[in-house]
Amino acid sequence: MLSKKMEKAFNDQIKWEYFSAYLYLSLSAYFTNTGLPGFANWMDVQFQEEQFHARRMFDYVNEKGGRVTLQAIDAPQNTWKSPLAAFEFALNHEYAVTKRINDLMTLAQKENDHASAIFLQWFVSEQVEEEASFGDTVNKLKLVGDGGGLFLLDRELATRVFVQPTVA
Ligand code: FEO
């Protein structure tokens, strides 16, 4: 069983995960339109990752006998002034997600909900990877600037494929 507070917090986070997916799909469209298909591919993979995050929470709420209530998803931003600005925007979004996951964990601890705290542990670790992965590309973009390096980085990002994350 899930407390009403935890149920609401999970429902809010499911919306956030789907909003994240929507944002990365919007970034994919931006990169396609900018002539950077490798960057677009990277964001397409991230779109799939976020849907996986949302679905995990969706399944958990159901498994705990809670009630999933899907909420309206806001329209994401759809243009940025440069590839670097776009990736910095995404990295900042991930920082906000990390804060939300930490707040969820704190709530689970306050509610003495050990099962939810253990479940959320995976998301805490996942956010470390998420921040590192976005931060790595931000750093590379700062190094290459607007020159030919952008073309090489595009080829590198084209190789990313979606691998369903391992769940302990
Ligand atoms: Fe679901 Fe990128 O955090």
pTM, two decimals, is 0.96
**pLDDT tens figures, 78-133:** 999 999 999 999 999 999 999 999 999 999 999 999 999 999 999 999 999 999 99
Residue 59 Cα to ligand 1 middle (Å): 16
Domain assignment present for residue 114? The answer is: yes
How far is CA 147 from its chain centroid?
Answer: 29
- More confident position, 161 or 146: 161
Residue 35 domain-assigned (yes or no): no
- In this predicted structure, the answer to whether residue 167 has a pLDDT above a threshold of 80 is no
Per the structure, the complete domain to which residue 114 belongs is given by 4-24+52-70+79-146
Q: CATH number of the domain that 116 lies in?
A: 1.20.1260.10
User: Is residue 158 situated within a structural domain?
Assistant: no
Per-chain mean pLDDT for the chain: 97
Residue 63 lies in a domain: yes
Domain count, the chain: 1
Question: Does residue 130 line the site of ligand 1, with CB under 6 A?
Answer: yes
- The CA 147 to ligand 1 mean position distance, Å, reads 30
Please report which confidence band the pLDDT of residue 64 belongs to, taking 50, 70 and 90 as the band edges: very high
Instruction: State whether the beta carbon of 20 lies less than 6 angstroms from ligand 1.
Output: yes
- The values of phi and psi at residue 163, to 5°, are -120, 120
Kindly state if the Cβ of 13 falls inside 6 Å of ligand 1. Answer: no
Cα distance between residue 56 and residue 49, in whole Å: 11
Spatial distance between the Cα atoms of 2 and 120, rounded to a whole number of angstroms: 14
Q: Is residue 50 in contact with ligand 1, taking CB distance under 6 Å?
A: yes
pLDDT for the residue 87: 98
In a domain, 9, yes or no: yes
Residue 41 lies in a domain: no
**So what's the pLDDT on residue 168?**
64
